[in-house]
Amino acid sequence: MTRSALPLFDGFIETPFERRFQGLLRQAWRAHRWHVIVAEPGSGKTMGIGDLRDEASRQAGTIGGRRYPVLAVTAPKNDPREAALGNFLLTALGLGARGRWSERKYLLFELLVQYGVECLIIDDAHDLSMPHLIFLKELTDQLQLAFPSQTPLGLCLVAAGRGAAIPLKDVFDQPETMWMQFRRRLDHLHPYCRIASQTEGEVRDILLALERIYRPSFPELNLQQWTGSMYTWLTHPLLDPQKSGRVIMDHLMKLATTALQWSYFRGERNVTPKYLEAAAEALTLRQDTIHLIDAGSGNEDANDRKEGPSSESNPK
């Protein structure tokens, strides 16, 4: 029995990584702290930021108008001007970016107070330029001077990074007064924080969550029994070049959902080891394979995603 494509879940899962990550964001929000936060690319930072932002807005309610206790934006790409970051902040507040920046800049200060902003989160902070960082300091300085009754803003600069390097630290370590002042604003105990990805035990917890999510499509689904194998595959040197022994959420989801898609199309009631192994091989040994798309092959990619790996990529 074959079926159409499996309906995939694309919502938020409260993984152990997200609990660690959101826990630090909440501390920064509640205690008005400044942190530089680093995690692996694909670990789930953006999903965690969006979930916390929405939760904070729900808690604030709409009585007395809209409020954005946690305001989150992505750092502008390839636009180092302070206006680029300012426009992103205005857009996140639901406002347009028309008019002169020199006028809207000072309106932004008032709007942050009007909308009850208590914490700023900048995603992809590794892309921030010098003018962006200087603008953030000016913004927080001005708010503190112009509205002394307001509590200081919390600030989280969330960056993607691997290994021992901490994005932005080389900027803040410079001797100029500007960066000395910025450095002084950072939390005195935990200025730079790296959020660890999933352990093998935490992978088991995530697989249990995925079992609950996909149970309607797989009545006999048991992903937990493959925890050890999946952990081994997902800490392959190609996926874990730092040899951290931790699993990135993006890799785990790709492995699990690919195997589930192939199993579902074949009418299986549980995920099959054949497709788990083939999906792991696709993520590791075959991740750089170049596929030729030629005349008459337009539907092959869609078919591969539904039907499963070709015979040459099936495990022996």
The confidence score (pLDDT) of residue 308 equals 65
The confidence score (pLDDT) of residue 299 equals 55
Give pTM, 2 decimals.
0.88
| Residue stretches of the chain with pLDDT short of 70 | 1-3, 62-65, 97, 287-289, 291, 296-316
Per residue in 28-44, is it b (16+ CB within 10 Å) or e — as a string? bbeeebbbbbbbbebbb
Per residue in 103-134, is it b (16+ CB within 10 Å) or e — as a string? ebbeebbebbeebbbbbbbbbbbbbbbeebbe
Condensed to tens digits (0 to 9), the pLDDT of residues 59-75 reads 887 665 688 999 999 99
How far is residue 275's CA from residue 233's CA, in Å, rounded to a whole number? 13
The confidence score (pLDDT) of residue 306 equals 54
The CATH code of the domain at 16-194 is 3.40.50.300
Query: SS3 for 176?
Result: coil
Q: Domain extents for the chain?
A: 16-194, 200-307
The confidence score (pLDDT) of residue 145 equals 86
How far is residue 171's CA from residue 179's CA, in Å, rounded to a whole number? 7
